[in-house]
Every structure is written in C-alpha cells, then in structure tokens.
Amino acid sequence: MKLHIKGGRLLLPAGPVATNAAPPAHAECHADVFIADGLIAAIGSAPAGFQADRVLDASGLCVAPGLVDLSARLREPGNEYKATLASELAAALAGGVTSLVCPPDTNPVLDEPGLVDMLKFRTQQLRQAHVYPLGALTVGLEGTTISAMRQLTEAGCIGFSQAEVPIIDTQVLWRALQYASTYGYTVWLRAQDPYLSRGGVAASGAVASRLGLPGIPAAAETIALHTILELVRITGARVHLPHLSSAGGIELVRTAKRDGLPISCDVTINHLHLIDADIAYFDAQYRLDPPLRTQRDRDAIRAGLLDGTIDAICSDHTPLDDDQKMLPFGEAAPGASGLELLLSLTVKWAQEARVPLAQALAYVTRAPAAVLGLRSAGRLESGAPADLCLFDPHAYWTVEPDALRSQGRNTPFNGYELPVRVRATLLGGHVAFEQTWQ
Amino acid sequence: MMTRTAPGFIKSNPQLTRKGELKHLLTIEGLPRTIVNHLLDTAEQFVGVADGEIKKLPLLQGKSVFNLFFENSTRTRTTFEIAAKRLSADVLNLNINASSTSKGESLLDTIRNLSAMQADLFVVRHAQSGAPYLIAQHCAPHVHVINAGDGRHAHPTQGLLDMYTIRHYKKDFRGLTVAIVGDILHSRVARSDIHALTTLGVPEIRAIGPRTLLPEGLEQLGVKVFHEMDAGLRGVDVIIMLRLQNERMSGACLPSAQEYFKSYGLTPERLALAAPDAIVMHPRPINRGVEIESSVADGVQSVILDQVTFGIAVRMAVMSVVAGARA
C-alpha cells in the first residue's frame, strides 16, 4: 500500500527533546508526504517511480506524528465490563493516538511475562495502536517482592510501575530502584504519600473544607517526591514521575532536573485545565487521582510545561462504567476517559497560552516518545514509521459523552466546545481511522 | 472563542427552582437571606401548634414523607417524623444501611425504587458529603429532598433551628458575636451554622479549637480563628458547643478527652468570660465532662432543650415550604 498525503500542513515536533529547561523544538511547513511499506518514504517530492495506491487530500488539514499517550488504561485483562481492548484502542485511533502506555493495575496485575505476552498478542492482532505495557514493579503491586523485571522486559514491558499503589516500605523501594538501575530500566512512580492521602477524596484547601470532603494535602505529593528524588540520587535509577499535580511538586522536579537527575515527568490533560472549584456541587466526574488542586497549582503546571520542567502531557485515560460514577463524590471511582480528548485539550491549552501548534504537539508526540526511549514514535521524517494523525485545525466539536468511542463515558469535559478534530489516523502506513471530510 | 455550552452537571444552585423558590433543602450556603428569614418566620407560626388544642395541620395531607437514613440517628429521624405527622403527612422510616446497600444495591437504584412508591419528600441522612445532591439530581421531578445531614458537609435543618434559637433570644443578628467551639473539621453542624450566621449578617463568627480540629481555609468562610478558649469566649453573645465524637477523643487529632476538656471544656468560670446574657447551645448528644460541664449544660444560660422544641417547628417549616401546596 502506497499513500500520497497531498497538500497538508506538516507539524514537525522534531529537534532536541526537553530534558533540562528547554522546551521541545518545532517547525512546520507545507509539503506532501509519501508513504510506502509502512514507512515515510519521502517528504516534499515523490521518490523515483512512486505510484500511489491512494491519494489523501490533506488540504486545510494538519499532518502530525501520531500521538504518544503515556497513560491509558485499557482494562484488559480483568475489567472488560468497564472497557475492552478493542473499544479503547478504537478510541485511541479516533483521538489520533498511535502509541500508548498502559499501567499494570489490571486484574490480574501485569507481573508475569505470560500475561504481558498475552496482552501484546491481543493488541497486535487488533492492529489498532501500539501498546507499551508497564510491568508491575513489585509482585501483585504489593510492595514486598520485586518483580521479574528482566523477563518482563523480554516479554515487552517498557518500564515498571506501581500504578497508583505506593510502596510503603522504603527499603523495598530503594532495592527496586537499585535492581532496575542495574539493567537500565525506567521506573514510573506516582508521587503520593500513602498516609497523608489516606481517606482523602479532594485536594486540601478552601473548596474541600467548604464541601466537607476529606482532603489530600499537597505535601502528600512533595514528601513522596523528596523520598523518590533522594533514592534516585543514591541509586542513579532512571525514574519517570507521572501526573504531577502541585506547584510544590513541580518546583522540586525543576530543581532536581537542574541538578542533572535522570528524571522525567508528565501532567494530565485534566490537571492542565481544571481546578478544585470545578467540583461545584459534588460532581463525581471531577473526582480524579491525583485530586484537582488550586488555580495556583494549575498555573504552575502550565509554567512547568513552557520552561521544560514537565516533559509530556498524557490523557490518564481511565474508562469507568456509569455505576462507578453515579455515587456520592467520596464513593465514586476516580478517573476520566481521555484518549479522544488528548489532542483537543492540548491544542486548547496551546491556544490559551499562545503556544505554536507544532510546539504544543511535541508534548504529546516527540517528548513522550523520548520518555519511552522510542526512536520510532513521535516523528514525522523520512524513514520513520508512518504513524500519523491528520486533523482539521479549524474545526470545533462539542464533547458529548455518548458520542465517545471509548466505553468510558466518564468525562469532566461534558459540554465543552473544543478545538481541532481528527480526520484520519494512519498506523504503519494504513488508514486505521478515517472520518469523512470535505 | 471556546465556551462551555452545556455543562453536564448543574452548576447553579440545585436547590432553587428557576423562579428562585426552594425546591430542595440541601445546604444553607448560597440561600438568599429572604428564604432563610421566611423559613424562620414560618417556624414561628408552628411553635405553638403542639401547645394548642389542634396538634395537626393539614399542610402535607396526602403526601408521603420517606425518612431515608443511610446513617443511624434515632434522634434526628424522630424529630422529622413528628414534624411530618403534625403536618398530616404519611411517614415511612427506612434504615437503609441495614437493608439494600448491604445487598449491593446502589444508592440510585434504591432512590428509583422508592420514587416508584409515590414518595413526595425524601429526608436524607448519609455518611458521604454531597449524597443528597446526587439524590436530588436523579429523583423524579416532583420529589423534594431535605438534607438531614451529609458527611461533614451540611446539616441545614440543624443550622436553621440554631438560627431560630438565636433569634428567639437575641432578636437581632446584627451586632452579635458567636463562638463555635470544638471539632469543626468533622462537623456538618458547624458548616451550616457558619453559612447561616454569615447569611443573616452576624458581624463576628469565631471558631475555637486546636489546629487539628479546624479545617484548612476556614478563614475564607468568614470566620475568626482562636486556639485559646478564654480569648475566644471573651464578650461573645452566643456559644455553640460541638460534640466531640468518641472515636476522635484520642488519636492523631487529640491526645485525650481529659486534655480536651482542660483546653476547651465549657465550665462556669469560662462562661463568665462571655457576655452576661450569653446563651449556650449544643446540637446534642452531649458528652458531659468532655466538651461541657453538667452545671453549664443544665444551667440558666443553657438553651439546649429549647433547641429540641424549636427543632420540630423548624422541620415543619422546611417541609411545608419545600413540599406544601403553594399559595
């Protein structure tokens, strides 16, 4: 299959990747893209003898690398009633996401190579987006025995994580980081102190006090970060810090990066846009983990993106069924569906912060690919895999939960009018998702 | 420009109708002062009902009131039951923690089932803050919801009966200094009192307690914080003592009931620091010797039993204003 993408506006989030206080470089141009054998054969003029099987008219559209989402729960194995691989990977493609990382908190937990093999096999059969599983850092996420990281890596795990379950025993955490660093594996650690967050359902502060909701202080994040960063210092382990939520936490990471620690971090689209006051009258769609914090924290997230402290934006896609949200706020399950909103909410932020489109796209393409150490993803250049996203930069759409492809209709952005709409997603040179356009 | 067009959840005050009438009573926060005063005025008309020859009024005749108590409270449930019966309503008491939820039925399923039984009014007590909002949002359109206490969030009828009691003794809210003493962090009564006092124009509201029992950002609700009982009580007109839950008497928030009483117990000596005509209130049940000395609880300045009497009239007022036939 040879494809010719004609007349598009190419967004090239290329160049050096954000590591220390440098926002991702970017560029854009108008050019045709030629695809053959699953790869980008050429940009600009066709290679000699190129005969397209299909020409995609991309005039008026942006052509970008397929999105790389650092956190998307697919709910398989074990929670198929909440969502299935097929539904969630279809949602990914509809959102322009061609690569995604899934956390190990499935049922059973991804702590055995056989389970990872099975997941890889199932996703490859579906041929809808590349799935990069994170293995459990400890057996059963129980925080006592480290998992078989070498075998899990051979099976296809891209790193190791405790998902949302903290390791309480600091000795185990230290040893896990030592072991992982022996082989150069990346460890993903949610910074949240288990004691300070115990029982909490919203961020501590005036909003939680007024609503009578048990609070989680920002210190739950910063204290955990202090511990993690100190262990990174003594072990040299490479650590990724997902879903930072507080101004204090971002400042700690800023300083640690300046000191040259081998760390990276991300924020979610929810925390990029929402704050605790949005909970309004106990709307359980705003129950998230970590909890939504104050305007000041959101400002710090936005500043952290621009100065290179924060590497990437992720969806933290967590599909839930209605019954898990139709509960009093404190009993509702935390999380929001997000794969189909990642692109639009990133662009919405870019518009509000006056960030050029190609630069904003780097936070969901090039930069997360770098976090994963993937050379192949997040690029739009000759020789790279033809994982691409074509979107209409002038379209607006209204979020209607029932219109989402994900089985998770749980979104705090219900009714929001959002910019940009994906028109086609290419995976390995195939048109894997397509929405008719003029 | 991007705008929010159709938010999925009601962002405006969900207890008022479009015309500004009280459809549910979920919290005192955000209620206009006119509605609060109307509720208190209505209660005043009902205070005498029990003393008169006719103990019943026909205002809720033919209506069904369901007391949905997901958390046990015989006391509050009884006052609602008496109030509903004096308004001639049919009353059904349901202790739900014991039945449905233990069988795995969801809160909303329970509500849907009960709505199908022709309920007109749900009186809801729930351990989770905000649960009555969920019920109000999902029950049938003709059903009214009264919050009888949700988590740490609100206990609006208690707040109103406290206001009724203060108004009864002090006549005017302007110029008063009111102190709330004790575990404000976990108290829905304190939150409702604070909103009610603010709405009615009380110029100085004080909160007295150790920092472990005061919620973060309390000052933003318009409250002056004191950590010393003596300083906090000086010159106050009204003292609202809060109950200290047994499970909080010793742990991470407090060392012991004895130390708490030494620091924050209301004794005759401390009461003498308040204005000479200060009144002492308590939402009951009282821990004698923990938050208040018996001689004060039973003393001349205590209005704790009046609160109980007024409580029935206030609950009648709330039910009749919310669910009664509109004139």
**Residue A245 distance to chain B (closest CA, Å):** 19
**Residue pLDDT, tens place only, B154-170:** 999 999 999 999 999 99
Are the C-beta atoms of residues A369 and A50 closer than 8 Å to each other? no
CB within 8 Å of B172: residues ≥ 6 apart = none
pLDDT(A14) > 80: no
Residue in chain A closest to B107 (alpha carbons) equals A327
Are the C-beta atoms of residues A186 and A240 closer than 8 Å to each other? yes
- Judging by beta carbons within 10 Å of its beta carbon (0-12, 13-18, 19+), is residue A366 exposed, middle or buried? buried
CB distance A205–B150 less than 8 Å? no
**In 3D, which of A195, A206, A134 has the Cα closest to residue A170?**
A195
pLDDT in the model for residue A394: 97
pTM to 2 decimal places: 0.93
**Residue pLDDT, tens place only, A287-320:** 999 999 999 999 999 999 999 999 999 999 999 9
CB distance B9–A213 less than 8 Å? no
SS (H, E, C) B213-229: HCCCCHHHHCCEEECCH
Q: Report the alpha-carbon distance of residue B156 to residue B25 in Å, rounded.
A: 7
Q: Report the alpha-carbon distance of residue A112 to residue A140 in Å, rounded.
A: 9
| Residues of A belonging to the active site | 316
Q: Report the alpha-carbon distance of residue B223 to residue B207 in Å, rounded.
A: 7
pLDDT(A22) > 50: no
The DSSP call for residue A181 is H
Which one of A282, A351, A416 has the shortest CB-CB distance to B133?
A: A282
Are the C-beta atoms of residues A26 and A362 closer than 8 Å to each other? yes
**Residue A223 distance to chain B (closest CA, Å):** 19
Query: Higher model confidence: residue A248 or residue A75?
Result: A248
Q: Hey, is A361 helix, strand or coil?
A: helix
Residue in chain B closest to A279 (alpha carbons) equals B11
Band of pLDDT at residue A18, cut at 50, 70 and 90? very low
**Residue pLDDT, tens place only, A356-373:** 999 999 999 999 999 999
Q: Report the alpha-carbon distance of residue B3 to residue A418 in Å, rounded.
A: 8
Band of pLDDT at residue A78, cut at 50, 70 and 90? confident
B134/A contact by beta carbon, under 8 A: yes
pLDDT(A69) > 80: yes
Mean pLDDT on B125-129: 95
CB distance A283–B9 less than 8 Å? yes
**Residue pLDDT, tens place only, B218-275:** 999 999 999 999 999 999 999 999 999 888 888 889 999 999 999 999 999 999 999 9
**Residue A283 distance to chain B (closest CA, Å):** 7
Band of pLDDT at residue B99, cut at 50, 70 and 90? low
Which one of B130, B151, B217 has the shortest CB-CB distance to A206?
A: B217
**Residue A333 distance to chain B (closest CA, Å):** 14
Location of structure tokens 């949302």: A164
Distances (CA, A) of A204 to A253, B23, B82, B97: 21, 31, 39, 29
**Residue pLDDT, tens place only, B267-301:** 999 999 999 999 999 999 999 999 999 999 999 99
Mean pLDDT on B55-82: 91
pLDDT in the model for residue B50: 66
Are the C-beta atoms of residues A386 and A3 closer than 8 Å to each other? yes
pLDDT in the model for residue A26: 66
Band of pLDDT at residue B316, cut at 50, 70 and 90? very high
pLDDT in the model for residue B83: 95
**In 3D, which of B204, B147, B156, B150 has the Cα closest to residue B180?**
B204
B216/A contact by beta carbon, under 8 A: yes
Dihedral pair phi/psi, residue B136, rounded to 5°: -60, -35
| Mutation for testing the B interface, residue in A282, A286, A331, A410 having most B CBs under 10 Å | A282
Which one of A329, A415, A419 has the shortest CB-CB distance to B4?
A: A415
Contacts A–B by Cβ distance under 8 A: 110
**Radius of gyration of chain A from its Cα atoms, rounded to whole angstroms:** 21
What tokens appear for A152 in the block? 């899990």
What stretch of H or E contains A390? strand A388-398
pLDDT in the model for residue B5: 37
Q: pLDDT averaged over chain B?
A: 90
CB within 8 Å of A112: residues ≥ 6 apart = A148, A152
pLDDT(B22) > 70: yes
Band of pLDDT at residue A117, cut at 50, 70 and 90? very high
Mean pLDDT on A407-416: 96
Are the C-beta atoms of residues B311 and B157 closer than 8 Å to each other? yes
Mean pLDDT on A90-97: 97
Which one of B5, B153, B218 has the shortest CB-CB distance to A398?
A: B5
Location of structure tokens 């990724």: A240
Are the C-beta atoms of residues B100 and B157 closer than 8 Å to each other? no
Q: Report the alpha-carbon distance of residue A328 to residue A325 in Å, rounded.
A: 8
Q: What is the DSSP string of A293-350?
A: --HHHHHHHHHHHHTTSS-EEE--B----HHHHSS-TTTSPP-B--TTTHHHHHHHHH
B107/A contact by beta carbon, under 8 A: yes
Q: pLDDT averaged over chain A?
A: 94
**Residue A351 distance to chain B (closest CA, Å):** 10
- Judging by beta carbons within 10 Å of its beta carbon (0-12, 13-18, 19+), is residue A183 exposed, middle or buried? exposed
Q: Hey, is B87 helix, strand or coil?
A: coil
Which one of A205, A212, A418 has the shortest CB-CB distance to B188?
A: A212
CB within 8 Å of B249: residues ≥ 6 apart = B256, B257, B260, B290
Band of pLDDT at residue B8, cut at 50, 70 and 90? very low
CB distance A328–B216 less than 8 Å? no
What stretch of H or E contains A134? strand A130-136
CB distance A416–B2 less than 8 Å? yes
**In 3D, which of A399, A408, A432, A372 has the Cα closest to residue A94?**
A432
| Mutation for testing the B interface, residue in A283, A286, A287 having most B CBs under 10 Å | A283
Band of pLDDT at residue A19, cut at 50, 70 and 90? very low
Dihedral pair phi/psi, residue B66, rounded to 5°: -105, 120
pLDDT(B1) > 50: no
CB within 8 Å of A409: residues ≥ 6 apart = A322, A337, A401, A402
**Residue pLDDT, tens place only, B213-232:** 999 999 999 999 999 999 99
pLDDT in the model for residue B6: 40
CB distance A327–B106 less than 8 Å? yes
Q: For A134-276, where are the alpha helices, taking DSSP H only?
A: 149-155, 170-182, 206-211, 219-235, 247-258, 269-273
Q: Report the alpha-carbon distance of residue A399 to residue A418 in Å, rounded.
A: 7
Q: What burial letters (b/e) apply to A239-255, b meaning 16+ CB within 10 Å?
A: bbbbbbbbbbbbebbbe
What stretch of H or E contains A420? strand A417-427
The partner residues of A57 in beta bridges, in order of sequence, read: A6
Q: For B221-277, where are the alpha helices, taking DSSP H only?
A: 229-233, 257-264, 268-271
**Radius of gyration of chain B from its Cα atoms, rounded to whole angstroms:** 20
pLDDT in the model for residue B100: 54
Are the C-beta atoms of residues A99 and A158 closer than 8 Å to each other? no
pLDDT in the model for residue B96: 78
Q: What burial letters (b/e) apply to B180-202, b meaning 16+ CB within 10 Å?
A: bbbbbbbbbbbbbbbbbbbbbeb
**In 3D, which of B99, B108, B175 has the Cα closest to residue B138?**
B108
**In 3D, which of B71, B221, B244 has the Cα closest to residue B149?**
B71
**In 3D, which of A312, A309, A188, A314 has the Cα closest to residue A256?**
A309
Side chain identity, residue A370: A
pLDDT(A20) > 60: no
Query: Higher model confidence: residue A327 or residue A13?
Result: A327
B289: region left, alpha or beta (phi > 0 left; psi from -120 to 50 alpha): left
CB distance B130–A285 less than 8 Å? no
B153/A contact by beta carbon, under 8 A: yes
pLDDT(A21) > 80: no
The DSSP call for residue A138 is B
pLDDT(B56) > 90: no
